[in-house]
Structure 1
């Protein structure tokens, strides 16, 4: 998803947010065009013989009963760290002590498409990737499920998940029974503005048309976030829309580009510009705004009445992973509310675990009250997960979107 910026120890002042490479968006510019072409090639390959797998045709052996090990691949700075000794990861260390399972934790996922390129040949050929847990953003998680490249989880071994997974993250279109992908952390895409340089903004239409914002607006180069918000602003459901509805929303975006309203399309590198006031308002991610608002409380995240987009990075067990039982033990451990609160206190994303907010109050009451970490029912009711796309839809929609944003 997007790059994480490490917060300081609780109680300490937070540093100014620094620019980084987005992990939710396709690379843009010349590199972005190459990434898009590579993604298109990978998608085309998805339809070739041998790429698609089935549970019966690609059987995985679980050695968890005799091998107390686990290989876990995640995004950088996405797990709590002991600030006094950064070699220590308190919740992970506690899991290893409690379970006797030794975890090799690797921060080797920096971009969804890049990581897909690393593992696609092995998974397409029903071979091991050397990983027991991988963490992928919704749309990529949906792709590997569609390809049959991940193992079905045993719900009997996931009592904490069954009890504590947030209702808003159950029954998603790409995994309706919650048996292949479970959220590690989640976030919101909405509007943000810097009240030091502009008045409050409440709607997507304001962002795209208000004269005083002309040339001072950015939008995200991640198609699902920007187009999801525009679909909602037109009264359409981003979880279930038609080609015509997508085209209507895209026309609205094109008009804002042509008029000069939108300054540029960004990954999370909009954040420093928003902090400085060079960007007055934007489409942005909740995690960025939490950190920016700690330095300047006039920087605000806005959930438009038309709705916000909800995204997750999801834990999945790839085919041929030989420690599925150990992986399920770790996944369930992180759905313990007390453990989930420790992680949320560090990463500042939406915690997907019911009951973690009460535990967070014991750690940091201010964070426990933050609606961008623990959204209330009213906010979650306005949140949508972008529709799962077929390979053909993904190519078509991304192609149209890239043309409009000039990537």
Structure 2
């Protein structure tokens, strides 16, 4: 009898902390991709607690590189930023596609991401949110701004904004008649092309009111009237258009730059099962539509557009006719080492007088 009295409390002491520990998914993602409504619904349905950390491509790679792929269970890099980072830093683990409900995805987008994130027989990502980078233009200058290079016209001095990251290098190159993606495999040719872009961006500095670093900053600059033409994401343009019909997102004549943000597994993530549950949950059409409403961009979820409000669909159609859609320049994987060259160019542009 005494033995039972001793053993029962001991068992309780050992098991209580274990039962109190909730299962957790640590998600490293972009703003708008894990809205509170969706997180709450997932937590209620699965009992898995979601810890959301907001980030961007450069920060994701930096965080995972510093930890060898630890600290998070699911991350959302763009598809063109995966293979080179994996080859250089080994920060991801292959996806088990048998645990992903492929019927939820737009077939062509799933196939494209699989192709662009494969190394050998291993696939490192599946698609989530997609969108484009182009021009956000006020009607007062719409006849002057048709392509990225037009942001540098003298008559726009002090009224332009763009983010000083690699998309402005790529977009400017296309608008100058070059094809940067075709030069990805020839570093010397790419460096020569980017030298011309660097010269263009340094000459363009008098036009720049500010180099924006976040979407809210850009929206405030355009909404206030301080900036009348900018490089920006389609979602930001559509948000501004909803408030002011004189502002719109325009697909550049040389082609909008198309991106796909993905789901990928960090190499030392601790809860792959929760990660796969999240992927399959958020790709359900009605849930995906909530993410579109939050982020402003459409997802790779099949049928989700049926649950998106008519105003957002109308904004999309006003920016993209079929020709503009066909002209989207989709980012291919970035070759290892290329971003170092680009970073040096961007640093020189920023430092130039």
What's the offset of the Cα at 1:384? 2.4
| Runs of 5+ unmatched residues, structure 1 | 1-66, 82-88
8 Å CA contact 2:109–2:127 kept in 1: the answer is: no
Could you state the TM-score of these two structures normalised by the residue count of structure 2? 0.77
Q: For the residues of structure 1 that align with 2:42 and 2:323, how far apart are their CA atoms?
A: 34
Partner of 1:228: 170
Q: Which has the higher helix share?
A: 2
Equivalent residues, number: 323
8 Å CA contact 1:74–1:107 kept in 2: the answer is: yes
Aligned match for 1:396, one of 329, 335, 341: 341
SS in structure 2 of the partner of residue 187 of structure 1: strand
What's the offset of the Cα at 1:105? 1.8
| Runs of 5+ unmatched residues, structure 2 | 1-20
SS in structure 2 of the partner of residue 71 of structure 1: strand
What's the offset of the Cα at 1:303? 0.5
Q: For the residues of structure 1 that align with 2:204 and 2:291, how far apart are their CA atoms?
A: 43
Q: Name which of structure 1's ranges 278-287 and 385-394 shifts more when overlaid on structure 2.
A: 385-394
Cα offsets for 1:208-267 (capped at 9, x unmatched): 2x33223322232111x1012122223443433244355335424523532655324332
Partner of 2:310: 365
Query: How is 1:189-208 mapped onto 2 (pairs within 5 angstroms)?
Result: 189-196=133-140, 199=143, 201-208=145-152
Query: How is 1:136-215 mapped onto 2 (pairs within 5 angstroms)?
Result: 136-138=77-79, 140-146=81-87, 147-160=89-102, 163-164=105-106, 167=109, 170-171=112-113, 174-176=116-118, 179-196=123-140, 199=143, 201-208=145-152, 210-215=153-158
8 Å CA contact 1:194–1:275 kept in 2: the answer is: no
Partner of 1:109: 54
Aligned match for 2:293, one of 327, 345, 353: 345
What's the offset of the Cα at 1:327? 1.7
Q: For the residues of structure 1 that align with 2:318 and 2:265, how far apart are their CA atoms?
A: 26
Could you state the TM-score of these two structures normalised by the residue count of structure 1? 0.68
| C-alpha distance 121-374 of structure 1, shift in aligned 2 (>3 A) | same
Q: CA RMSD in A?
A: 3.3
Query: Based on CA coordinates, which of the two structures has the bigger radius of gyration?
Result: 2
| C-alpha distance 145-221 of structure 1, shift in aligned 2 (>3 A) | same
SS in structure 1 of the partner of residue 211 of structure 2: strand
Partner of 1:265: 211
Cα offsets for 1:191-223 (capped at 9, x unmatched): 121224664521233322x33223322232111
1:405 aligns with 2:347: no
Aligned match for 1:317, one of 265, 289, 303: 265
